[in-house]
Amino acid sequence: MELNEYWSAQAVEEYKSMLYEQKMQNYSLACELQAPHVIHKAEVKQDGDMWCCILGDLPTGVVGFGKTPKEACDEFDAVWVNGYKTNS
């Protein structure tokens, strides 16, 4: 194999790797966009030292709480999907 062919093959492998990485990033984004708190446009608010992700009102709506916005959204999604809070 000539040196030029070697580098061409290396470039092709690098390009394939970049395409795979981009495909995985696109998949990850698509999954995030399908989360219940995103689809239903739940509000994320700070409540004292906790965060709240809420759709509707506190007594009758779907609500998730957490120390961070992500934790609140994750709990909201679990409540939406399972119908109850997680133990974590």
Question: Domain-by-domain residue ranges, the chain?
Answer: 3-82
Place of tokens 């580098």: 7
What are the pLDDT digits (tens) for 57-75? 988 899 999 999 999 999 9
Whole-model pTM: value is: 0.66
What are the pLDDT digits (tens) for 18-50? 999 999 998 888 878 789 999 999 999 998 999
Indicate whether 88 pLDDT > 60.
no
Which residue type sits at 72?
Answer: A
For residue 86, the model assigns a pLDDT of 59
For residue 85, the model assigns a pLDDT of 65
Per the DSSP assignment, residues forming a β-bridge with 51 are 46, 66
Helical (H) or strand (E) element with 63: strand 62-66
67 close to 51: Cβ distance less than 8 angstroms: yes
For residue 33, the model assigns a pLDDT of 79
